[in-house]
Amino acid sequence: MIVGRGWTTINNVPGRGLTVEQIENTPQPLEFHTAVPAAEPDGGHYRQLADRMNEAWQAMVEKDEELIKRQANSIEVLSDAIALRKVLPELGAGGSPVAVPVGINDLDREATEIELEKKGPHLIVIGPPMTGKTTTLRTLALSLAHTYSPSELALVMVDPSDPARRFYHYGAGDGSSLADLPHVLATVSSSEEMDEVVMRLHAEFDDDVREALKGESNGFKPSNADKRRIVVLIDHYDDADMLNQGDLGLEALAEVGKGKDLHLVIGGSLDITRDSMDQLRRRAEAARYTLVLQDHDTVRYMGVRGDFSSEAEMPPGRGYLVKAINASMTQVCLPVAQGVAGVSEDEALADMISAIQKKYRKGAQWSYHAADLSELEEVLDIDGLGSFGSDGGDMDMGGSLDELEALLAEQESEMSGNGAGVSASEVDSMKKAELESLAEEMGVMPSEGSGSGGSVLVDDLKNAIKEAL
C-alpha cells in the first residue's frame, strides 16, 4: 500500500522506500511505508505487557480484596522541587534519638533523615556555589523545630555573611521568619554576638560553671541539661573568620560542650575543609557525616563505596548524604513550595512557623538568661582580658579566701617551725606571691603603687580576691 508523500531525501527507516507513480500523466517519485498486518499499541511491547499484567492483577484483586495492601507504591522520577511538608511527621512528634527528614532519597523514594544523634553528633554541608547549602540549612532548621519542642531541642543560628544572604533571614520578617521560631536561643552575625553565645553555652554544658552560678546569680536558672539538646547551625562558613575578632571566637566554641548534647551543623564551600588549624570544623568533621551537594568528585575522594564517575549535571539540592564510607543520593526539600495554589512562599512559610509558635507559647531560654553578662564573666574568668579558654577556664573557683588563708598559715608554720631557717619576712613575701598569682589568674590584680616602693599591698590583694569570689 502506498501512503507516501513527495520525496525529499532517502532515509534508512525500515519499511520505507521510494516508488514512482503517474500523477497527471507525469511520473512522480513518492515515499512510501509498508503497512504491517496489525497495529502496535502506543509504547510498544512493554506497554502491552504491562497492560496485560495490570488486567491480571485487577482480576486477582476482585477475587481477594486483601491483596490491595500488598500493591507496590508507584515509583516517580526524583523531582527537582519537593516541599518539606511532604516528608514531615506530625507537629512535635519527634522521637529519640533525634532524627528529622530533610529530603527524599533516590533508593526507595522515602524520606532522607538527618540522624543527628545516631550518626552525628555533627553534620557538614558542602558544595560548590549556588547548589542549595543555605536552602538545606533552612530546611533542616524548620524540620527540627517542627519535629521537636523547644524544651527538647533549641537552636543557635550563626551566619557571618551580609544580611541579604543570611540563612535565618528567611520569611517576611514580621515575626514569622525563621529566626522567630520559639526554638531560637540566639542569632549570631558578629564577633560580639559569637562571644556572648560561647559564654552562655558554657553555662549550659560546663558542670563547674553551672555549679558556681547556682544560688549565686539571679540571672541563672539551669535548664534540664539531660533533656535539651542545642544545635548550632553555621552557614557561609567561608566567611566565618570575621567572628574571631573578639576574645573568644570559634576556637572557644570548639571547646564548649564536648561529649554533651551540643550539635554542630556547618555549611560552606569545599574550601572550608582545607584549613588544618580550624579546630571547630575539625571537631564537626570527626563525625564523618556530610551532605555533599552536586559534587561527584568530592564524594569519590571521600573514599565512599560505589561508582561516582557520572558527570551528569545535578539540579540544586541534589547530592549525597555520606556517613563514613556509605552514601545515598538525595534530593533536599525546599522549606516550602514556591507559589503553589496562589499561596506565596512567604505566606506558606508564615503558616508553618505560626503553627509552631502557637504550639509552644514559651520559647527556649538560656540557663544564664540575664542580659548583663558580668556574673557569668566572673565565673568564667574573662572580664575582657581574654585569658579564659587558655588556662583560666580550668581554675577551681570553689575555695573561699578563708580556706586560702588557712592553707597559707599552714605553710607558714611548717616553714618557720621546721628550722629550715626561713625568716618571717621571707614567709610574708611567699604568702604575698601566692596571693598575687591567684589575683593574676582571676584577672583581678589591683593596680600598683598603693604600697611602699610602688608594689601592691597584701590587703589590696586580699580585698580584690574577696570581691571576685
Ligand X SMILES: Nc1ncnc2c1ncn2[C@@H]1O[C@H](COP(=O)(O)OP(=O)(O)OP(=O)(O)O)[C@@H](O)[C@H]1O
Task: Indicate the residue among 134 and 330 with the shorter CB distance to Mg ion.
Answer: 134
Nearest to 298, CA basis, from 271, 335, 265, 259: 271
Tell which one of 112, 114, 131, 349 touches ligand X (CB under 6 A). 131
Using CB under 6 A as the binding rule, the residues of this chain from 307 to 326 that contact ligand X are 316-317
Q: Shortest distance, CB of residue 138 to ligand X, whole angstroms?
A: 8
CA distance 124 to 338: 26
Using CB under 5 A as the binding rule, the residues of this chain from 284 to 323 that contact Mg ion are none
Report if residue 132 touches ligand X, rule: CB under 6 A: yes
Q: Shortest distance, CB of residue 190 to Mg ion, whole angstroms?
A: 19
Report if residue 348 touches ligand X, rule: CB under 6 A: no
Q: Shortest distance, CB of residue 133 to Mg ion, whole angstroms?
A: 5
**Which cell numbers in the block locate residue 48?**
502491552
Task: Indicate the residue among 2 and 242 with the shorter CB distance to Mg ion.
Answer: 242
Report if residue 332 touches ligand X, rule: CB under 6 A: yes
The residue sitting closest to ligand X, measured at its beta carbon, is: 317
Question: HSE on the CB side for 397, CA within 13 Å?
Answer: 27
Q: Shortest distance, CB of residue 239 to ligand X, whole angstroms?
A: 10
CA distance 404 to 416: 18
| Full strand arrangement of the beta sheet holding 153-158 | 111-114, 100-105, 326-332, 318-323, 289-293, 123-126, 262-268, 229-234, 153-158, 184-188
Q: b vs e for 74-96, b when ≥16 Cβ sit within 10 Å of the residue's Cβ?
A: eeeebeeebbbbebbeebeebee
Report if residue 114 touches ligand X, rule: CB under 6 A: no
CA distance 292 to 169: 23
Report if residue 189 touches Mg ion, rule: CB under 5 A: no
Task: Indicate the residue among 133 and 169 with the shorter CB distance to Mg ion.
Answer: 133
- How many residues sit in the footprint of ligand X (CB under 6 A)? 14
What, of Mg ion, ligand X, none, does residue 135 touch, CB below 5 to 8 Å by kind? ligand X
Element (H, E) at 253: helix 249-253
**Which cell numbers in the block locate residue 226?**
539531660
Q: Shortest distance, CB of residue 237 to ligand X, whole angstroms?
A: 10
Using CB under 6 A as the binding rule, the residues of this chain from 281 to 310 that contact ligand X are none
Q: Shortest distance, CB of residue 179 to ligand X, whole angstroms?
A: 17
Positive or negative: CA dihedral 438, 440, 443, 449: positive
Report if residue 130 touches ligand X, rule: CB under 6 A: yes
Task: Indicate the residue among 164 and 424 with the shorter CB distance to Mg ion.
Answer: 164
Q: Shortest distance, CB of residue 276 to ligand X, whole angstroms?
A: 23
What, of Mg ion, ligand X, none, does residue 81 touch, CB below 5 to 8 Å by kind? ligand X
- What mask, x for binding ligand X by CB under 6 A, covers residues 60 to 99? --------------------xx------------------
Nearest to 333, CA basis, from 148, 137, 104, 77: 104
Question: HSE on the CB side for 313, CA within 13 Å?
Answer: 3
Nearest to 201, CA basis, from 264, 272, 289: 264
Q: Contact positions toward Mg ion, by CB under 5 A?
A: 133-134
Q: Contact positions toward ligand X, by CB under 6 A?
A: 80-81, 127, 129-135, 316-317, 332, 334
